[in-house]
């Protein structure tokens, strides 16, 4: 055992918990000991989870911290349950994000663009950038306490995963599930690439809605558009087949303004006759819905912009950027008298590139696609038949809406960084897909497709490619299917569904039950500020979690996030909540320190079993001992049930209220009396206190690992709480009678404290009192009641000046030396007069029919509430006055 470990086991604890002095030391110790490394040969029941790979360009944000806290809690608990727990880390190469970052770096440092380099030179620059600047989030994960197996760290562009990508592409291609076609895709004119749906952020922008008249007289039709420049590429006008206004025009042609072309009027069920004029312009090359209409009616697709969104059609608008062409086209139409109406500002949803914020342009382009119909059907069936369970279950409806109506997936990207599409073209039109273990064709005229694959293509393989697929590895046999996937509900469609499709396809030889990528999918919400607003730099409410961890400790941030993790709902968070969690960690620290200072201990030889070891004989246990053990037993069962439902907020609330309200505020206080007396009763209390703290720390450990490790080492002098056994509920510890008795004791103490406060007594002020017990069980707690309520034994000359009855206990107090009764009566009479004045005012308002009939209901309700409050105040003050002795 090293000196560092010996020092960690020192029984004395500092007066205050200092996370900064503990966290790094403990994490390095865990790593050195290999606690997080999984052994596929152990024979233990496996538990496996893969990290949603963060972008290599990314830094830890609150969303990461939230998801990682949940995953780490599940993994740590499984490890303590004796399972072979693997949490596998890694990063995504993030094609667009990384290429953009490196291009920006290249421009800033060398004044060059990527086109000043060869493709191979640029890709090498990206690798150099990744090695020097990328992956900072991995170090930040250590700061958070992630118990990942760093020996298995993967990267979506490493050799093994690249081989997996090439293998599945080849299989899909050979099975006819990958094809090339010309379709409408999301295009970023700045990044010069197609985008996936998740790479497009839709938000409301102000624009202009322009209504344009096509044709003349009875043959004219009015259409409306927010993108007037696209009318240059119109090849038709569509109306609903049942719209009587346009029935005479269906099959005819009308003149398209500014172009001299005539375009047909077609009838299509897609058109809503109730919306606008009931007619829509059809631009098949620049709108996905128009493309479908064009396909149904054999309308040509005219591309009027290049890849930079510059107008390419011959005429006065050629060479203009799309945003320059828009007002120019409107002006030309206005000059011809073709503008029927203009609405500005017109607010509508516009797609923006998530990487550079450029407005996305729908564009007809030759791309590679995955045919998803059979794959999506399999993904839907796996949830319908229960092989994969979604949490919360109501997410299933959204899941089925997506997989049952999924469009073919565009997988090609016009980038240089990424997995290059393994297709070669020959000089005579040959198309050859080459697997990773095959040699590509060579010779004059052969070349590889220049595009790379969508980042989501490689991340869809993550649950099995990271375990060694396509090889039959020990890791793959032991840890696939993975146990649970934890991720935000916002990428249910974009990532979870794709992992489902590829896992079921690639691992089909294992059979239906074993081919799924995971058994459970836990969908958590998004982190928002304490007002429920989305965090962003522009709003000024974004938070760097590292700042909060530096100030309050990692455990405080983790506990705050986990305590807000209600299934499927967003998580509001504010700094004051993290402060509250810091206070809870300090409370755990101080209570354990008190116990250690008073001799609480756990037998070191017994902590390796299912519990802390045998407790003192039942006859030696006090009612308070039986109560706390019974409550602890119930808490263990409730925490397990909440974990099984993936209800992390409930786990934290159960443990918070038990630890703070019951263990620390009641049992620790109740333990002070026997500890002061010494003897056998004190030894029993020390044993029970040590046991309850041991179990409580182990229950808390998955969520707040650092402070619990430091305390548990001092309490037990054992190896590490990370490999300590998970507690389990025991049949013989339930004690309903003890719980009822302590419940009554709590009521008595609480009411006496409230009475003292109402009488104006200071918290520490000691007051003579007599206690009379109707229930024998409570009479045994007289000393505890006196200690907890600052009531001392009466001396000679005791004169009862106030009394109260609560839960079978009569308390008579001598307040003669504690309260100036004349001054107290004067104060209370003044408060009573003010309360009666408020009551009279409220009654007068409510008696006025003009007020009650004309004022808003919320205002009337507020007056009724004030009346009820004043009546309650009058009753309370009157009771206090009645309790005062007559002078």
Closest CA to 470 of 431, 496, 440, 437: 437
Predicted pLDDT of residue 537:
61
**Sequence-ordered list of residues with C-beta below 8 angstroms from that of 628, at least 6 positions apart, any chain:** 662, 663, 666, 667, 688, 692
* 593 and 619 fall within a common domain: yes
What's the pLDDT score for residue 264? 97
From the centroid of its chain, how far is CA 775? 50
Asked whether the predicted pLDDT for residue 262 surpasses 70, the reply is: yes
Residues 623 and 719 in one domain: yes
Give the phi and the psi of residue 802 in degrees, each rounded to 5.
-160, 150
Question: How far is the C-alpha of 315 from the C-alpha of 415, rounded, in Å?
Answer: 32
pLDDT above 90 for 858 = no
Helix residue ranges, H only, 367-490: 373-384, 395-403, 455-459, 462-465, 474-479
pTM across the whole model: 0.84
What per-residue confidence (pLDDT) applies to 703? 98
Same domain assignment for residues 695 and 771: no
DSSP 8-state class, residue 803 = E
Q: Report the pLDDT averaged over residues 286-293.
A: 93
Q: What is the CATH number of the domain that holds 581?
A: 1.10.730.10
pLDDT at 610 exceeding the cut of 50: no
Tokens 């002061």 correspond to: 676
* Helical H segments across 264-319, by residue range: 288-297
Among 347, 362, 377, the domain-final residue is: 362
Residue 539 confidence class, pLDDT cut points 50, 70, 90: low
Question: How far apart, in whole angstroms, are the C-alpha atoms of residue 434 and residue 436?
Answer: 7
Least Cα distance to 670 among 612, 598, 754, 774 occurs for 598
Give percent of the chain above pLDDT 90: 72
- Do both 697 and 782 map to the same domain? no
Most confident stretch, 2-11, 491-500, 810-819: 491-500
State which of 758, 778, 813 marks the end of a domain.
813
Say whether both 749 and 619 belong to one domain: no
Mean pLDDT for all residues in the chain: 91
Higher confidence at residue 542 or residue 657?
Answer: 657
Question: pLDDT (tens digit, 9 = 90+) per residue, 620-649?
Answer: 999 999 999 999 999 999 999 999 999 999
**pLDDT score for 10:** 37
Q: Which CATH number is 778's domain given? A: 3.30.1170.10
Pick from 219-233, 456-470, 742-756: least confident = 742-756
- pLDDT classification of 1: cutoffs 50, 70, 90: very low
Residue 830, marked binder: no
* Same-domain status, 256 and 287: yes
DSSP H or E stretch at residue 163: helix 159-174
Asked if residue 771 and residue 792 are part of one domain, the reply reads: yes
Residues 6+ apart with CB under 8 A from 573: 62, 527, 528, 529, 530, 543, 560, 561, 564
Residue 727 to residue 500: CA distance in whole angstroms = 34
pLDDT, mean of residues 814-824: 72
**Adjacency order of strands within the sheet including 200-214:** 221-225, 200-214, 339-353
pLDDT of residue 651: 98
Asked, for residue 62, whether it belongs to a domain, the answer is: no
Q: What is the CATH number of the domain that holds 877?
A: 1.10.287
Determine the Cα–Cα distance for residues 746 and 727; give it in Å rounded to an integer: 27
What pLDDT sits at residue 569? 86
**Please, which residues bridge with residue 472 across strands?**
none
Please state the rounded mean pLDDT for residues 529-556: 83
Q: Pick 830 or 733 by higher pLDDT.
A: 830
Model pLDDT, residue 59: 87
Please say which residue of 813, 836, 852 terminates a domain.
813
Query: How many Å apart are CA 634 and CA 762, to the nearest integer?
Result: 36
Tally the C-alpha atoms within 13 A of residue 61's C-alpha that lie toward its C-beta.
15
Query: Are the beta carbons of 47 and 88 closer than 8 angstroms?
Result: no
- Backbone conformation region of residue 650, classed left if phi is above 0, alpha if psi is from -120 to 50, else beta: alpha
> What is the domain count for the chain?
4
Q: Is 660 part of any domain?
A: yes
Residues with Cβ within 8 Å of residue 290, at least 6 apart in sequence:
280, 281, 282, 283, 284
Examine the pLDDT at 4 and tell me if it is beyond 80. no
Band (pLDDT 50/70/90 cuts) for residue 749 is very high
Confidence at residue 2, expressed as pLDDT on a 0 to 100 scale: 35
pLDDT at res. 538:
59
pLDDT, mean of residues 186-193: 91
**Could you read off the pLDDT of 25-54 as tens digits, one per residue?**
999 999 999 999 999 999 999 999 999 999
Same domain, residue pair 636 and 756: no
Taking alpha carbons only, the member of 807, 770, 821, 777 closest to residue 792 is 770
- Say if residue 759 is in the same domain as residue 621: no
Would residue 441 be called left, alpha or beta, if left means φ above 0 and alpha means ψ between -120 and 50 degrees? beta
| First-residue to last-residue Cα distance in the chain | 73
Residue 859 — pLDDT band, cuts 50, 70, 90? Answer: confident
Q: Are 730 and 595 contained in the same domain?
A: yes
Is 433 within a domain? no
Least confident of 255-264, 667-676, 755-764, 822-831: 822-831
Cα separation, 481 vs 191, whole angstroms? 37
CA angle 254, 260, 262 (to 5 degrees): 30
pLDDT at 609: 44
Convert the pLDDT of each residue in 590-608 to its tens digit. 999 999 999 998 865 544 4
Q: Is 477 contained in some domain?
A: no
What does the H/E/C string look like for 515-584?
HCCEEEEEEECCEEECCCCECCCCCCCCCCHHHHHHHHCHHHHHHHHHHCCCCCCCEEECHHHHHHHHHH
- 524 within domain boundaries: no
Q: Is the pLDDT of residue 202 over 60?
A: yes
529 has a pLDDT exceeding 70: yes
Q: How far apart are CA 439 and CA 432, in angstroms?
A: 11
What is the model's pLDDT at position 210? 95
Parent domain of 858: 821-883
345: tokens are 């500002």
- Least confident stretch, 547-561, 574-588, 806-820: 806-820
- Residue 253 falls within a domain, yes or no? yes
Same structural domain for residues 825 and 788?
A: no
Give residue 799's pLDDT. Answer: 82
Q: What is the pLDDT of residues 48-79, one digit of tens each?
A: 999 999 999 988 889 899 999 999 999 999 99
Residue 450: inside a domain, yes or no? no
User: What is each CA distance from 287 to 201, 291, 554, 720, in whole angstroms?
Assistant: 17, 6, 48, 60
Name the token pair of 315.
């005429």
How high is the pLDDT of residue 886? 66
Taking every pair of C-alpha atoms in the chain, what is the biggest distance, in angstroms?
A: 117
Look at residue 530 in the predicted model and tell me its pLDDT: 79
281 pLDDT tier (thresholds 50, 70, 90):
very high
Asked if residues 549 and 505 have their Cβ atoms less than 8 Å apart, the reply is no
The token pair that represents 860 in the structure block: 């009337």
Instruction: Specify the range with the lowest mean pLDDT, choosing from 411-425, 550-564, 849-863.
Output: 849-863
* pLDDT given for residue 605 in this prediction: 53
- Residue pLDDT, tens place only, 767-806: 999 999 987 778 888 999 999 999 999 888 788 877 888 8
Q: Residue 102 domain-assigned?
A: no
111-115, 704-708, 759-763, range with the lowest pLDDT: 759-763
CB 356 within 8 A of CB 191: yes
Is the domain of 225 the same as that of 335? Answer: yes
Tell me the percentage of the chain whose pLDDT exceeds 70.
96
pLDDT attached to residue 449: 97
Instruction: Say how far apart CA 864 and CA 851 lie, in whole Å.
Output: 12
């Amino acid at each position: 055992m090293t000196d560092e470990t010996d020092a960690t086991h020192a029984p004395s604890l500092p007066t205050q918990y200092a996370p900064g002095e503990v966290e790094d030391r403990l994490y390095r110790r865990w790593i050195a000991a290999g606690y997080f490394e999984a052994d596929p040969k152990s024979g233990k029941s496996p538990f496996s989870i893969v990290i949603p790979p963060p972008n290599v360009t990314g830094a830890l944000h609150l969303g990461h911290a939230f998801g990682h806290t949940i995953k780490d809690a599940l993994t740590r608990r499984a490890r303590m349950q004796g399972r072979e727990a693997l949490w596998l880390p890694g990063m995504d190469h993030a094609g667009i994000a990384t290429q953009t970052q490196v291009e920006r770096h290249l421009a800033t440092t060398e004044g060059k663009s990527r086109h000043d380099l060869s493709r191979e030179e640029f890709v090498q620059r990206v690798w150099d950038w990744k090695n020097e600047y990328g992956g900072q989030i991995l170090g930040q994960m250590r700061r958070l306490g992630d118990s990942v197996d760093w020996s298995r760290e993967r990267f979506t562009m490493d050799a093994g995963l690249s081989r997996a990508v090439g293998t599945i592409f080849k299989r899909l291609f050979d099975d006819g599930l990958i094809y090339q076609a010309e379709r409408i895709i999301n295009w970023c004119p700045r990044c010069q690439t197609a985008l996936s749906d998740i790479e497009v952020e839709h938000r409301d922008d102000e624009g202009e809605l322009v209504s344009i008249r096509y044709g003349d007289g009875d043959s004219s039709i009015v259409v409306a558009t927010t993108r007037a420049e696209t009318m240059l590429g119109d090849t038709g006008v569509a109306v609903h087949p049942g719209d009587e206004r346009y029935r005479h025009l269906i099959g005819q042609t009308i003149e398209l303004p500014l172009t001299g072309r005539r375009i047909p009027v077609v009838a299509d069920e897609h058109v809503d006759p109730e919306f606008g004029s009931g007619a829509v312009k059809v631009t098949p090359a620049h709108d996905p819905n128009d493309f479908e209409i064009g396909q149904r009616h054999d309308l040509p697709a005219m591309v009027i912009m290049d890849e930079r969104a510059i107008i390419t059609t011959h005429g006065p608008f050629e060479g203009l950027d799309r945003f320059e062409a828009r007002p120019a086209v409107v002006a030309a139409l206005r000059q011809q008298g073709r503008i029927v109406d203009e609405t500005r500002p017109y607010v509508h949803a516009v797609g923006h590139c998530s990487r550079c914020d450029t407005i996305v342009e729908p564009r007809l382009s030759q791309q590679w696609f995955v045919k998803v119909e059979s794959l999506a059907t399999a993904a839907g069936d796996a949830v319908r038949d229960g092989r994969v369970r979604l949490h919360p279950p109501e997410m299933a409806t959204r899941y089925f809406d997506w997989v049952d109506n999924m469009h073919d997936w565009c997988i090609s990207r016009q980038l240089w960084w990424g997995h290059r599409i393994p297709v070669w073209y020959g000089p005579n039109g040959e198309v050859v897909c080459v697997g990773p273990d095959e040699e590509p064709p060579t010779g004059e005229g052969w070349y590889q497709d220049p595009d790379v694959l969508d980042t989501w293509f490689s991340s869809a393989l993550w649950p099995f490619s990271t375990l060694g697929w396509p090889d039959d590895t020990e890791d793959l046999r032991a840890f696939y299917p993975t146990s649970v996937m934890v991720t935000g509900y916002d990428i249910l469609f974009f990532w979870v569904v794709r992992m489902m499709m590829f896992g079921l396809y690639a691992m089909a030889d294992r059979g239906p039950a074993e081919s799924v990528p995971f058994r459970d999918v836990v969908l958590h919400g998004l982190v928002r500020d304490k007002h429920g607003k989305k965090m962003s730099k522009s709003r000024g409410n974004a938070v760097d979690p590292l700042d909060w961890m530096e100030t309050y400790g990692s455990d405080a941030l983790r506990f705050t996030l986990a305590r807000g993790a209600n299934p499927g709902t967003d998580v509001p968070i504010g700094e004051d909540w993290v402060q509250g969690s810091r206070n809870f960690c300090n409370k755990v620290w101080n209570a354990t320190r008190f116990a250690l200072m008073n001799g609480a201990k756990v037998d070191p030889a017994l902590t390796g079993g299912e519990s802390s070891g045998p407790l003192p004989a039942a006859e030696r246990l006090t009612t308070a001992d039986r109560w706390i053990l019974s409550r602890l037993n119930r808490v263990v069962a409730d925490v397990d049930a909440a974990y099984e439902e993936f209800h992390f907020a409930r786990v934290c609330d159960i443990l918070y209220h038990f630890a703070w309200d019951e263990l620390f505020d009641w049992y620790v206080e109740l333990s002070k009396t026997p500890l002061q007396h010494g003897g056998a009763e004190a030894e029993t209390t020390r044993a029970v206190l040590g046991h309850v703290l041991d179990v409580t720390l182990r229950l808390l450990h998955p969520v707040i690992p650092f402070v619990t490790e430091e305390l548990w080492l001092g309490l037990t002098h054992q190896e590490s709480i990370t490999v300590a056994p998970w507690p389990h509920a025991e049949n013989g510890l339930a004690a309903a009678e003890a719980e009822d008795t302590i419940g009554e004791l709590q009521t008595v103490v609480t009411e006496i404290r409230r009475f003292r406060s109402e009488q104006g007594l200071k918290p520490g002020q000691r007051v003579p009192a007599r206690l009379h017990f109707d229930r024998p069980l409570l009479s045994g707690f007289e000393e505890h009641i006196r200690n907890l309520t600052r009531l001392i034994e009466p001396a000679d000359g005791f004169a009862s000046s106030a009394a109260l009855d609560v839960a079978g206990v009569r308390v008579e107090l001598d307040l003669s030396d504690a309260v100036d009764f004349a001054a107290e009566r004067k104060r209370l009479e003044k408060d009573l007069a003010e309360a009666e004045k408020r009551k009279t005012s409220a009654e007068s308002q409510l008696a006025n029919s003009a007020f009650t009939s004309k004022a808003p209901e919320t205002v009337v309700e507020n007056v009724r509430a004030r009346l009820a409050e004043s009546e309650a105040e009058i009753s309370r003050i009157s009771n206090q006055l009645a309790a005062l002795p007559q002078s």
